[in-house]
Amino acid sequence: MSAFIQWCLAHLNYYTVLFLMTLESTVFPIPSEIVVPPAAYHAAATGELNVFLLILFATIGACLGATINYTVSLLVGKPIVYAFADSKVGHLLLLNKEKVQKAERYFNAHGAISTFIGRLIPVIRHLISIPAGLAKMPYGRFIAFTALGAGIWNCFLAALGYYLQRVLPEDQLVDTVTKYSHEVGYGLLALVILAIAYLILKSRLKKKKAIEQ
């Protein structure tokens, strides 16, 4: 599998991006930072890929992978999920009980919207679909929030890769993106939270004004 993934990274196109992003949103330790930015870099350098289609395929892949996690968790339940996370295979995939518990606590604390904002948070990103499945969250709401969060994240990664093609050698791309992506991810999360808070406040003020009239 490792050799095949390396081959995919050396031959990035819409379908390899779709495949790798599907894996990234399951339990395989494939960071989106090593998939989307290099593909966007390649798009900017050669014109062989359309960056908007690249974002679309990356987001579809994220939704497919998240659906796998969600469905398996929904069907097998918490004991088997936790047993797998603490198994030898789980550890090979860089999983453990603590990581799953962290994602579950985050989901329990923030509810359904955590499947949206969780897509912007390292570690939580590819595991948040597990507690959503365990909690039997309605699939329509789950996939809508997942697509929105993954779409925003992929837009950022693609824009970064596309821009860095102008200013950075290709062999420095992944290290640069990985170094700063966590900080930028939290920045995007802060902006999203502020936007949601603004919309909620605006809605409440509008309702209050209507009642007063």
pLDDT at 199: 67
> What percent of the chain clears pLDDT 90, i.e. is strictly above it?
25
Mean pLDDT of 172-186: 72
Helix H or strand E encompassing 209: helix 173-212
Q: Is the pLDDT of residue 79 over 80?
A: yes
Q: Is the pLDDT of residue 178 over 90?
A: no
pLDDT at 22: 94
Q: Is the pLDDT of residue 4 over 70?
A: no
**pLDDT digit string, tens, across residues 94-149:** 788 888 888 888 888 877 788 888 887 777 788 889 989 988 999 999 999 999 98
Q: Is the pLDDT of residue 1 over 60?
A: no
Q: What is the DSSP string of 123-165?
A: TTTTTTHHHHHHTT--HHHHHHHHHHHHHHHHHHHHHHHHHHH
CA-closest candidate to residue 164, choices 177, 152, 147: 177
**pLDDT digit string, tens, across residues 45-70:** 888 899 999 999 999 999 999 999 99
pLDDT at 29: 73
pLDDT at 210: 67
For 143, other C-beta atoms within 10 Å of its C-beta total 19
pLDDT at 5: 64
